[in-house]
Amino acid sequence: MFIKLKSLLYDNEVRAIAFQVLAVIVIAYFAYQAFDNMMLNIEQRGIRSGFGFLNDEAGFAVNDNFFLEYSPASTNLQAFYVGIVNTLVVAIAGIFFASIIGLIIGVARLSSNYLIRKMATIYIEVFRNIPILLQILFWYSIALNAFPSPKNSISFFDSIFLNSRGLYLPKPLMESEFYLVIASLVVGIISYIFIKKQSNKKHDETGVVTNTTAYFLGLVLLLPFAVYLVAGAQLEYPVLKGFNFRGGLDLSIEFFALTFALSIYTATYIAEAIRSGIESVDNGQKEAASAMGLTQAQSLRLVVLPQALRVAIPPIINQYLNLTKNSSLAAAVGYTELVTIFSGTVLNVVGQAIEIITLTMLVYLTISLVISLILNIFNKKMQIKGK
Amino acid sequence: MAIYSLKEAKQPPKSQTKAILWLKDNLFSSTLNVLLTFVAIYILYLLLPPILNWTIFDANFDLTADNQSCGREGACWSFVNANLKMFIYGFYPQEELWRVNTMFGLIAALIVLGSIIKNSQYKAHYIIGSFLIYPVVAFFLLYGGLGLEIVETDKWGGLTLTVVVAAVGIVASFPLGILFALGRQSEMRVVKFISVVYIEFIRGVPLITILFMASVVLPLFFSAGMDIDKLLRALIGITLFQTAYIAEVIRGGLQAIPRGQYEAADAAGLSFLQKTMLVILPQALKISIPNIVGSFISLFKDTTLLLIIGLFDMLAIVGAATSNSNWLGRDTEGYVFVAMVIWVILYSMSRYSKRLEVRFSTEHK
């Protein structure tokens, strides 16, 4: 009996189970204690609990609102949605510009031109080693000081205005005429893709290359423009009224500074990813490409880049995720995205910290999960087959 | 009969000598290259003059000038000079500054000592001393007690606070990170599950939400009488955050260790603890050192976020200094100064991590 017990004591599996049970008990104990204290504290401080506050009137205005209906009379839930949309808008804008800047800088770092190469290196070393929050605040203060007041706005064609409050663009009036324009754009893109596919097929079968640039210009750019002129769709132009512009699409200076800082900062990481991707392509590949008679551009487009991107895209997608998470720093300049609206203003009014911060975290978690899902799919697709 | 005699070598033509050849190769080798050179020069022409004018040529270097006499066309560096103490020490009482200086001095001494005894037998003592004893000494120096006057943490700020938070984050998250990394690699399902959920949760949310959680929600979890210091709450948040990242870095190191090492340790009859401490971790940590330094670099960057929950790190001091009516509107000078200080620190850290990477790479080339 005793020996049996002793052997149990030294049995790895038994130990593992005992250890895990112990871990669960300890965690459960602390969780219970914390929960108990929390309920007590909430009761003592008279804080409401539950998600009922989401249906209360929000009572505050937001600066930036892109697609949703929102007024101070809207509910907290609607404010929450506005926050999510604004987070996504700034993230997408940041990702767009960061990718372009990053691609340019990444290629420039490998340029044979000394000046370009050095400038790209300096750009990366400078902006990578300054905290993003500092950059956001810096560009915000620069934009506030350097851009003119609304009365002296910089204007482009009397329809786009830039001043220390923000950037004002003409906004399409969403009426039936404008839907026609959008529909024609969609039709144009679909038929262009069809034509491109046809020409690729022809290229595969016969080796004849057809230039599709004219189709692109005609279908994707000219067609919607022609429909716009014919159908008589209208744009709403921003107009200076009193101290500021009214009407049109209005991008606040906070949005401007935040997007700028996020793009500049994240671009340094994207540039490094692209550089290491290109460097990872074996030199023999380039030599083989030129031996086959491909031009420099063809070799880059058909041989080097497809292989470089396989290496570069996973870290780039990670950077997109980082950019999205960093957009939460908008709280420092007051661009009204999720953290500013929800964990800031709504939290101050309602005071239900646990529910509000949990909801905020859940949104970011969802975004992270979606992005890592995309990453996994990409990695599966890109795996070198047949090895 | 012609006899071959060695002719003297000709000088290369002028166009092939050093400077010109270099220019030709690097700047004007092809049409595209010429174009790029001009684009680069044009960009420099656009960027450099305003930057140089503001920081140097139009700037006022008179360190006693006040806000009015400084002028608005260039930087006013006397702002930095006048607020230098605040940038370094925050609101720490004047007569106690020697304590902060001692703390910084001890760090410098430890770094120097570390490079001296790099390979000696006292290495273990050194590591224990700097990671276990030094933090305690530093705490008493900064906070007080044992005969020193107590300085509350809301007086701490500036570079001091940045260093304190970064150091505590590093020291506290390291052992926790190892635990979670081992947990994630463990065969025990429950332990693995807990580790994975923790790591992925923390990595999926922005630091700012964790800091909010720590500063607003955390106090609710403790019984009503316990009043947790604001700085301590932030430190808990930062540590929880950093732990997940360190864990992932160390997991990378653990995965790089060949199976044979585990099997050999098992075959030698080592217990789990012996196997981990004597065989696996020393190798795994060595592999992950460059990435650990990289993770500390991002921690250092992230300390600036403290300003959002109302602590006065170096970046927040800019706001505090310019809200003083004597120095209104000098934010840009402040940001540039803080950016330069942090840049120097981060750049040297990243250089150091690059050097470590080379030193520790055992890959055969």
Q: Give backbone dihedrals phi and psi of A174, rounded to 5 degrees, phi first.
A: -80, 75
Residue in A with minimal Cα distance to B302: A131
Rounded CA separation A374/A366 (Å): 12
Residue in B with minimal Cα distance to A18: B188
Rounded CA separation B225/B227 (Å): 6
Q: Are strands A160-163 and A166-169 parallel, antiparallel or unpaired?
A: antiparallel
Asked if the model's pLDDT at residue B223 lies above 80, the reply is no
Q: Other C-beta atoms within 10 Å of B131: how many?
A: 13
Is A182 at the interface with chain B, CB within 8 A?
no
Tell me the per-residue pLDDT of A242-282, one tens digit each, with 9 for 90 and over: 667 766 677 888 898 999 999 999 999 999 999 999 888 88
- DSSP string for A264-309: HHHHHHHHHHHHHHHHHS-HHHHHHHHHTT--HHHIIIIIIHHHHH
Helix (H, G, I), strand (E, B) or coil at B3: coil
* Residues of chain B with C-beta less than 8 angstroms from the C-beta of A20: 188-191
* Residues of chain B with C-beta less than 8 angstroms from the C-beta of A361: 205, 209, 213
Among the partner residues B190, B221, B338, nearest to A20 by beta-carbon distance: B190
Average pLDDT over residues B138-150: 79
Boundary residue ending a domain (A185, A216, A233): A233
Q: Are residues A156 and A283 in the same domain?
A: yes
Contact B159, B100 (CB under 8 A): no
* Residues of chain A with C-beta less than 8 angstroms from the C-beta of B322: none
A387 domain-assigned:
no
Q: Are residues A32 and A160 in the same domain?
A: no
Give the H/E segment covering residue A161. Answer: strand A160-163
A71 domain-assigned:
no
Asked if the model's pLDDT at residue A12 lies above 50, the reply is yes
* Residues of chain A with C-beta less than 8 angstroms from the C-beta of B28: none
| Amino acid of residue B303 | T
Percent of chain B with pLDDT strictly greater than 90: 19
Give the H/E segment covering residue A251. Answer: strand A249-252
Boundary residue ending a domain (A213, A233, A253): A233
- Residue B179's pLDDT is what? 92
Among the partner residues A23, A132, A142, nearest to B332 by beta-carbon distance: A142
Rounded CA separation A107/B148 (Å): 57
- Residue A3's pLDDT is what? 64
Q: Are residues A189 and A152 in the same domain?
A: no
Question: Residue A212: which of A188, A187, A193, A184 has the closest Cα?
Answer: A193
* Residues of chain A with C-beta less than 8 angstroms from the C-beta of B189: 20
B208/A126 CB distance under 8 A: no
Q: Are residues A324 and A375 in the same domain?
A: yes
Using only C-alpha atoms, chain A has a radius of gyration, in whole angstroms, of 28
A184 token code pair: 């024609």
A86 domain-assigned:
yes
Among the partner residues A113, A332, A343, nearest to B26 by beta-carbon distance: A113
Q: Are residues A209 and A334 in the same domain?
A: no
CA A274 remoteness from chain centre: 18
* Residues of chain A with C-beta less than 8 angstroms from the C-beta of B199: none
Contact B64, B78 (CB under 8 A): yes
How far off is chain A from B7, nearest CA to CA, in Å? 37
- Residue A134's pLDDT is what? 93
More confident residue, B294 or B117: B294
Average pLDDT over residues A185-207: 85
Rounded CA separation B195/B189 (Å): 10
What ipTM did this prediction achieve? 0.87
- Residue A165's pLDDT is what? 78
Lowest mean pLDDT among A118-132, B81-95, B295-309: B81-95
Asked if the model's pLDDT at residue A343 lies above 90, the reply is no
- Quote the number of domains for chain A: 3
Residue in B with minimal Cα distance to A359: B209
Lowest mean pLDDT among B55-64, B97-106, B291-300: B55-64
A69 domain-assigned:
no
Is A113 at the interface with chain B, CB within 8 A?
yes
Q: Are residues A225 and A248 in the same domain?
A: no
- Residue A232's pLDDT is what? 66
Residue in B with minimal Cα distance to A360: B209
- Residue A1's pLDDT is what? 58
Q: What is the CATH number of the domain that holds A103?
A: 1.10.3720.10
A245 domain-assigned:
yes
Rounded CA separation B89/B163 (Å): 11
Asked if the model's pLDDT at residue A387 lies above 70, the reply is no
Contact A142, B343 (CB under 8 A): no
| Amino acid of residue A44 | Q
Q: Are residues A298 and A328 in the same domain?
A: yes
A51 domain-assigned:
no
Rounded CA separation A42/B336 (Å): 44
Tell me the per-residue pLDDT of A68-88, one tens digit each, with 9 for 90 and over: 777 788 888 888 888 899 999
Among the partner residues B219, B224, B335, nearest to A137 by beta-carbon distance: B335
Q: Are residues A154 and A107 in the same domain?
A: yes
By the 10 Å C-beta count (0-12 exposed, 13-18 middle, 19+ buried), A263 is classed as buried
Asked if the model's pLDDT at residue A381 lies above 70, the reply is yes
A37/B222 CB distance under 8 A: yes
Contact A237, A248 (CB under 8 A): yes
Asked if the model's pLDDT at residue B365 lies above 60, the reply is no
Lowest mean pLDDT among A86-90, B32-36, B117-121: B117-121
Asked if the model's pLDDT at residue B364 lies above 60, the reply is no
Sheet with A160-163, edge to edge strand ranges: A154-156, A160-163, A166-169, A249-252
Name the residue range of residue A221's domain: 174-233
Rounded CA separation A356/A111 (Å): 49
Is A377 at the interface with chain B, CB within 8 A?
no
Q: Are residues A156 and A22 in the same domain?
A: no
Helices B97-116 and B158-185, axial angle in degrees (round to 10): 50
Rounded CA separation B226/B230 (Å): 12
Contact B321, B227 (CB under 8 A): no
Tell me the per-residue pLDDT of B235-290, one tens digit each, with 9 for 90 and over: 999 999 999 999 999 999 998 888 899 899 989 988 888 898 899 888 888 888 88
A131/B302 CB distance under 8 A: yes
A183 token code pair: 């529909």
Lowest mean pLDDT among A17-26, A100-109, B215-224, B247-256: B215-224
A57 domain-assigned:
no
More confident residue, A227 or A316: A316
Average pLDDT over residues B85-92: 86
Tell me the per-residue pLDDT of A279-315, one tens digit each, with 9 for 90 and over: 888 889 989 998 999 887 888 888 888 888 888 888 9
Residue in A with minimal Cα distance to B298: A131
Asked if the model's pLDDT at residue B12 lies above 80, the reply is no
Q: Are residues A279 and A367 in the same domain?
A: yes
Q: Are residues A374 and A339 in the same domain?
A: yes
Helices B189-204 and B230-255, axial angle in degrees (round to 10): 120
Rounded CA separation B154/B160 (Å): 12
Q: Are residues A298 and A376 in the same domain?
A: yes
Is A31 at the interface with chain B, CB within 8 A?
no
B41/A115 CB distance under 8 A: yes
Rounded CA separation A323/A364 (Å): 12
- Residue B224's pLDDT is what? 65
Residue whose tokens read 């902060």? B100
A88 domain-assigned:
yes
